[in-house]
């Protein structure tokens, strides 16, 4: 019997894991997800690394060794993260090669503290990408107003980019245009236009933001409605003359990625954002718990409609119920950037604390 994960993959959507730990690598668990659950990539963030370092001893030896060599703070974190992510990238390399560079990626984030600093983001993205030295590694750059020119510059410089912190159709289009400007510059300069990118749209946070504030019939519909709007914009863009010219020059499309797809509402289906966001030519990156749930009881049924389906009708109803789409999108991006900085600070504090404790115990 074909697993739901395989069915979704066969329908044209890539399944990525929103998690990375050294234990996943050393135990062979990640390899089993590739072989048995059709996982073809992964994403990471500061919270994921914080939990992995705080709650396990997999990193203790490396922290002690690198600390003794003088590494600390952000430098020590990137040492640890790049060890994990380059190993994961090598695991996904056969997927990357088999899909001619379309799939099989892992992601590493620049410091979230740079979300509003364009030049520092550009410099850090180039540095980390060069240091990783893997063709199937993305550098995560937030789609903030200050991040958009950094995305263009990074793409123009040949750096693969995962654009994060996107919430609305307008956020997505900003990221897509930044990507295309970068590719257009490469074409004009006679450079290889095949620089990879995904645009990561955070979904469940919409519904969490309005939880308990909507009529029962509109409960848990906002995130899906926004997704339908964005998917229409994505498909329209792929059909547009501007993109077709770049495709003819040899460029691969920036793929739309559904992120934050773990269900926040305890009364909703634990695979809500997997089943409802099934769509070809996209990626869904999901927490480990959600991946297992979908493999166990997920259903692959209707795909998102390229024309957006009932998105505008539903958005009218949501607006009448008090949803301020533009205002909430801006607030979610601001809150998301702040949350990432807080997670980053907690991560660095965790590493410093563990380094100090290990040093004393040694």
Helices assigned H by DSSP within the chain: 4-10, 22-26, 29-36, 46-55, 60-68, 73-98, 118-132, 147-156, 169-188, 204-209, 222-239, 241-248, 272-275, 288-297, 311-320, 325-361
Yes or no: say if 252 and 101 are a contact pair by the CB < 8 Å rule: yes
Residues 15-56: tens digit of each pLDDT: 999 999 999 999 999 999 999 999 999 999 888 888 888 888
| Catalytic option among 140, 228, 264, 276 | 140
pLDDT band at residue 67 under the 50/70/90 scheme: confident
Q: Does the pLDDT value for residue 127 go beyond 80?
A: yes
Would you mind telling me the total number of residues written for the chain in this entry? 362
The whole-number pLDDT of residue 96 equals 98
Q: Does the pLDDT value for residue 141 go beyond 90?
A: yes
The whole-number pLDDT of residue 200 equals 98
Q: Does the pLDDT value for residue 319 go beyond 80?
A: yes
The whole-number pLDDT of residue 265 equals 94
Q: Round the average pLDDT of the chain to a whole number and report it.
A: 96
Q: What letter does residue 33 receive in the DSSP assignment?
A: H
The whole-number pLDDT of residue 360 equals 84
Q: Does the pLDDT value for residue 361 go beyond 90?
A: no
pLDDT band at residue 321 under the 50/70/90 scheme: very high
Q: Does the pLDDT value for residue 362 go beyond 80?
A: no
* Residue 140 designated active-site: yes
- Among residues 332, 345, 52, the alpha carbon closest in space to that of 209 is found at 332
Span 347-353, average pLDDT: 92
Enumerate the domain spans of the chain.
4-361
pTM of the model: 0.96
Superfamily for 4-361?
A: Aldolase class I (3.20.20.70)
Q: Does the pLDDT value for residue 69 go beyond 80?
A: yes
Structure tokens at 29: 């668990």
Q: Does the pLDDT value for residue 122 go beyond 80?
A: yes
Other Cβ atoms within 10 Å of 362 Cβ, number: 9
The whole-number pLDDT of residue 358 equals 85
pLDDT band at residue 214 under the 50/70/90 scheme: very high
pLDDT band at residue 357 under the 50/70/90 scheme: confident
Span 128-142, average pLDDT: 98
The whole-number pLDDT of residue 33 equals 98
DSSP string, 262-294: S---TTS-TTHHHHTT--TTEEEEE-HHHHHHH
User: How many angstroms from the chain centroid is the CA of residue 57?
Assistant: 26
- The four Cα atoms 354, 91, 158, 233 give a dihedral, to 10 degrees, of -100
Q: Does the pLDDT value for residue 323 go beyond 90?
A: yes
Span 295-316, average pLDDT: 97
**In whole angstroms, how far apart are CA 155 and each of 14, 198, 204, 260, 352?**
22, 12, 28, 24, 33
The whole-number pLDDT of residue 267 equals 94
pLDDT band at residue 331 under the 50/70/90 scheme: very high
Residues 74-89: tens digit of each pLDDT: 999 999 999 999 999 9
Span 232-254, average pLDDT: 97
Span 316-340, average pLDDT: 97
């Amino acid at each position: 019997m074909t697993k739901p994960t395989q069915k979704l993959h066969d329908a044209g959507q890539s399944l990525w894991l929103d998690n990375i730990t050294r234990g996943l690598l050393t135990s062979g668990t990640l390899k089993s997800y590739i072989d048995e659950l059709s996982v073809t990539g992964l994403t990471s963030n500061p919270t994921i690394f914080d939990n992995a370092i705080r709650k396990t001893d997999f990193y203790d030896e490396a922290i002690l060794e690198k600390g003794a060599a003088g590494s600390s703070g952000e430098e020590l974190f990137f040492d640890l993260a790049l060890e994990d992510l380059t190993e994961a990238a090598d695991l996904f390399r056969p997927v990357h090669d088999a899909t001619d560079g379309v799939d099989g990626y892992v992601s590493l984030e620049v410091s979230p503290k740079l979300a509003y600093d364009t030049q520092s983001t550009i410099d850090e993205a180039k540095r980390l990408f060069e240091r990783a030295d893997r063709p199937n590694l993305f550098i995560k750059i937030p789609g903030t107003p200050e991040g958009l020119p950094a995305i263009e510059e990074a793409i123009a410089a040949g750096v693969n980019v995962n654009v994060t912190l996107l919430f609305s159709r307008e956020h997505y289009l900003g990221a897509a245009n930044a990507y295309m400007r970068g590719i257009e510059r490469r074409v004009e300069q006679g450079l290889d236009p095949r620089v990879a990118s995904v645009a990561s749209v955070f979904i469940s946070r919409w519904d969490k933001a309005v939880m308990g504030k909507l009529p029962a019939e509109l409960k848990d519909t906002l995130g899906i409605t926004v997704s339908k709007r964005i998917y229409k914009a994505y498909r329209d863009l792929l059909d547009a003359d501007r993109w077709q010219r770049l495709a003819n020059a040899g460029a691969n499309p920036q793929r739309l990625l559904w992120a934050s797809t773990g269900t926040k509402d305890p009364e909703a289906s634990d695979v809500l954002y997997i089943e409802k966001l099934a769509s070809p030519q996209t990626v869904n990156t999901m927490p480990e718990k959600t991946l297992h749930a979908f493999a166990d009881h997920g259903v692959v049924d209707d795909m998102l409609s390229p024309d957006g389906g009932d998105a505008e009708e539903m958005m009218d109803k949501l607006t009448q119920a008090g949803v301020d789409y533009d205002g909430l999108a801006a607030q979610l991006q601001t809150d998301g950037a702040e949350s990432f900085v807080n997670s980053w600070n907690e991560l660095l504090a965790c590493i410093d604390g563990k380094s100090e404790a290990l040093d004393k115990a040694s």
